Amino acid sequence: MDVTRKTLAKILVVVFVANLVVMGAGALYSYQNAPPIPQEVVGPDGQTIATDERIQAGKATFQSNGLMNHGSILGNGAYFGVDFTADALDLKTQYMQEYYANERRGQSYRSLPDAQQAAIDSRVTNELDTDYDGGPVEYSAAELFAHRQIREEYVDRYANGARERGVPAGMIENPEDARRFADFALWTAWVSHTDRPGADYSYTNNWPYNPVAGNVPAGPTVVWSAVAMVLLIAGAGIGVWLYHSIELAEPEIGGIEIPDPREVDLLPSQRAATRYIPIAALLFVVQVLFGALLAHYYVERDGFFGLGDLLGIDILQWLPFAISKTYHLDLAILWVATLWIGAGLFLPGLLTGHEPDHQRTLVNVLLGALVVVVVGGFVGVWLGFKGVIGTDNPLWWILGNEGLEYVEVGRLWQFGLLLGFVLWTILLYRGFKPILERESRYGLAHMIIYAGGSIGLLFVAGVLYTPQTNMVMTEFWRWWVVHMWVEGSFEFFIVAVIGITLVSMGLLKKRSAEKAVMLQALFVMGSGVIGASHHYWWVGLPDVWIPFGSIFSTLELIPLILILFEALGQYRALATSDDSFAYRLPFMFIIASGAWNFLGAGVLGFFINLPMINYYEHGTYMTVAHAHAAMFGAFGFLALGMAVYMLRLTVDPDRWNERRLRWAFWLWNAGLAIMVLISLLPIGFLQLETAFTQGYDAARSLAFYNGDLVQLLFWARFPGDTLLILGTVVFAYDVIRKRFVLRETSTPDETPGGTIPDRILPEDDD
pLDDT along the chain (766 residues), means of 10: 69 82 90 94 92 95 94 95 96 96 86 91 92 90 96 95 91 94 97 92 94 91 82 71 61 61 85 94 95 91 71 81 93 90 88 87 93 91 86 87 90 88 89 83 79 74 87 92 71 76 73 73 74 89 87 70 63 65 84 84 82 92 91 86 92 91 96 95 96 95 95 94 96 95 74 57 48
CB 633 within 8 A of CB 590: no
Buried residues in 444-475 as b, exposed as e (16+ CB within 10 A): bbbbbbbbbbbbbebbebbeebebebbbbbbb
Query: Alpha-carbon distance 738 to 728, whole Å?
Result: 15
Task: Name residue 547's amino acid.
Answer: P
Nearest CA-CA partner of 3 in 247, 197, 173, 193: 247
Q: What phi and psi, each to the nearest 5 degrees, are found at residue 215?
A: -95, 105
Please report the pLDDT score of residue 766 as a whole number: 43
* Residues across the chain: 766
Provide the pLDDT for residue 288.
95
Q: Which residues contact 703 (CB under 8 A, 6 or more apart)?
A: none
Do 102 and 221 meet the contact criterion of CB atoms below 8 Å apart?
Answer: no
* Residue spans of beta strands (DSSP E) within 55-171: 72-73, 76-77, 130-131, 137-138
Q: How many Å apart are CA 598 and CA 513, to the nearest integer?
A: 20
pLDDT the model gives residue 363: 94
Alpha helices in 386-470 (DSSP H): 396-399, 411-436, 444-459
Classify 214 in phi/psi space as left (phi over 0), alpha (psi -120 to 50) or beta.
Answer: left
Residue 764: predicted pLDDT: 45
Residue 640: CA atoms inside 13 Å, Cβ hemisphere, count? 31
**Sheet of strand 40-42, all strands in order from the earlier edge strand to the far edge:** 48-51, 40-42, 137-138
Pair type for strands 194-195 and 130-131: parallel
Q: Amino acid identity, residue 654?
A: D
How many Cα atoms are found within 13 Å in the side-chain-facing hemisphere of 374?
A: 20
| Distance from C-alpha of 56 to C-alpha of 201, rounded to nearest angstrom | 25
Rounded to 10°, the helix 545-555/5-32 angle is 150
Pairing of strands 401-404, 407-409: antiparallel
Distance (Å, whole) CA 445 – CA 510:
10
**What residues form DSSP beta bridges with 210?**
215
76-77 vs 48-51, strand pairing mode: unpaired
Beta bridge partners of 77: 72
Amino acid at 61: T
Contacts of 135 (CB under 8 A, 6+ apart): 38
CA dihedral 29, 34, 38, 39 (to 10 degrees): -50
Q: Is the peptide bond before 208 cis (omega within 30 degrees of 0)?
A: yes
Which pLDDT does position 752 carry in this prediction? 47
C-alpha 471/C-alpha 465 separation (Å) is: 9
Provide long-range contacts, Cβ within 8 A and 24+ apart, for 224-229: 224/546, 224/547, 224/550, 224/611, 225/550, 225/610, 225/611, 225/612, 225/613, 227/547, 227/550, 227/551, 228/550, 228/551, 228/553, 228/554, 228/609, 228/610, 228/611, 229/610
Q: For residues 640 and 199, give the distance between their C-alpha atoms in angstroms, rounded to a whole number.
A: 49
Angle at CA of residue 237, ends 235 and 240, nearest 5°:
110
Measure CA of the first residue to CA of the last residue in the chain; give whole Å: 18
What pTM does this model have?
Answer: 0.90
Phi, psi of 237 (to 5 degrees): -65, -40
- Please tell me the distance from the alpha carbon of residue 632 to that of residue 593, in angstroms, as a whole number: 9
